[in-house]
Chains A and B, each alone.
Chain A
Amino acid sequence: MDGGDLYKHQLLEYAQDLAKAYTQIRQNQAEFLAALVSLLEMKAPAVRGHARRVAFWSLRLNDALGKPLDPGALQAAALVHDVGKLGLPDRLIQSWVASNSDDRRLVRMHPELGASLLEHVSAFSEWIPWVRHHHERWDGTGYPAGLAGGEIPLGARIIALANSFDYHVHDYGKGPAHTVAGTTAWIEKQSGGAFDPDLVAAFVSLPIEALWVNRLWIEEKA
């Protein structure tokens, strides 16, 4: 091998190492997020699977919109959207039912708590606002910032809808689960209220029942 060939081969080694390092970083990030979700689910076994299901519906919504957002970033944000609940008293993590105004005030802190926790990792900065604002409402009456309409980042609007859907179709200790059809009808009614009308239209265009029956999110990997 002459000097030029060797140099070419050496450059290829660099390129391969770079690709390996990039893959490793992405994998480490995904594993870190999975660990956070597991920690939350250890504290709240009743809501096991909620994070993965919200990620699943968020990705389907993003698909229906023509993938305006990076699916990897959206999946990450959706998985850990509730991670700020780790900062709440255990009784509020477990029950999801805030029975008095003090508890409600605490629960409403979870998007900000989650965003502050995730800010320790600079690589997450792109999608942290989606976590922070996933309880905003299209009509401006949500929290924490009371943003309205297009002021709310698209990722947060998507997670908000996916989150509400999954919340309504499970009981999570809050009361009986609603049917998929009933929840979908409720979401349609919330077009322009809780949710972005374009997202509601995209959501109802999905084969919701078929996706629901197949429970595809169980197998979906990062």
Chain B
Amino acid sequence: MKVLIIEDEPDMAALLAATLEPAGYQLRLERSGDEVEQILAEYDPQVAIVDVMLFGSQADGYEVVRRIRATEGHESTLVVVLTALVGSEYERRALEAGADIYMGKPFSPLELLNKLRQAEIITD
């Protein structure tokens, strides 16, 4: 299963990779979502994990999620929003933008893996 990670913090990206790679996921790491349509076209992931606060990018995570949803073929790609902005308002914004799963940082890696696995079962 191919996973696209859009995360500007290299340490966080490394932790995500350390979580997902041993579980058998294939990864592509991007620090910005500005070119998300092109990345989707090249990589065609089944899952996208998107950080909300993307420093150095034009688009924030919500915008990236909206653009993923608007890309043909990715209307039902599983989108996970990860953010240090914790609260129901941020969760509502993430879900309104089109995310399937919202997780506040720090997140439980086991919970992330479980959610991905559950989503796989549903989409299988």
The stretch among B8-16, B41-49, B63-71 that forms the contact with chain A is B8-16
Asked if A14 meets B109 with Cβ closer than 8 Å, knowing A3-B9, A7-B11, the reply is yes
- Interchain CB contact under 8 A, B106 and A10: yes
Interface centre among A6, A10, A14, A21 (most CB of B within 10 A): A10
Q: Which of A1, A11, A13 contacts B108 (CB 8 A)?
A: A13
Bound: A16/B106 CA distance, A: 12
The number of chain A residues with a CB under 8 A from chain B is 14
In the complex, whether B1 has a CB less than 8 A from a CB of chain A is no
Residues of chain A within 8 A of B109, CB atoms compared:
13-14, 17
Bound: A17/B84 CA distance, A: 19
- Chain A residue at smallest Cβ distance from B8: A3
Asked if A10 meets B105 with Cβ closer than 8 Å, knowing A1-B84, A3-B9, the reply is yes
- Interchain CB contact under 8 A, B12 and A17: no
Nearest CB in chain A: distance from B10 CB, A: 10
- Tell me the residues in window 1-42 of chain A with beta carbons closer than 8 Å to chain B beta carbons: 1, 3, 6-7, 9-14, 16-17, 20-21
The number of chain B residues with a CB under 8 A from chain A is 12
Bound: A143/B12 CA distance, A: 56
Q: Which of A6, A11, A14 contacts B84 (CB 8 A)?
A: A6
- Tell me the residues in window 169-207 of chain A with beta carbons closer than 8 Å to chain B beta carbons: none
- Interchain CB contact under 8 A, B110 and A7: no
Bound: A148/B42 CA distance, A: 66
Q: Which of B9, B19, B107, B108 contacts A7 (CB 8 A)?
A: B9
Residues of chain A within 8 A of B84, CB atoms compared:
1, 6
- Chain A residue at smallest Cβ distance from B55: A3
Asked if A9 meets B106 with Cβ closer than 8 Å, knowing A1-B84, A14-B15, the reply is yes
Nearest CB in chain B: distance from A5 CB, A: 10
- Chain A residue at smallest Cβ distance from B18: A14
- Chain B residue at smallest Cβ distance from A3: B9
Nearest CB in chain A: distance from B107 CB, A: 7
Bound: A6/B106 CA distance, A: 7
Bound: A6/B15 CA distance, A: 12
Nearest CB in chain A: distance from B96 CB, A: 24
What are some 12 contacts across the A-B interface (CB < 8 A)? Answer: A1-B84, A7-B12, A9-B106, A10-B106, A10-B107, A12-B106, A14-B15, A14-B19, A16-B108, A17-B108, A20-B110, A21-B110
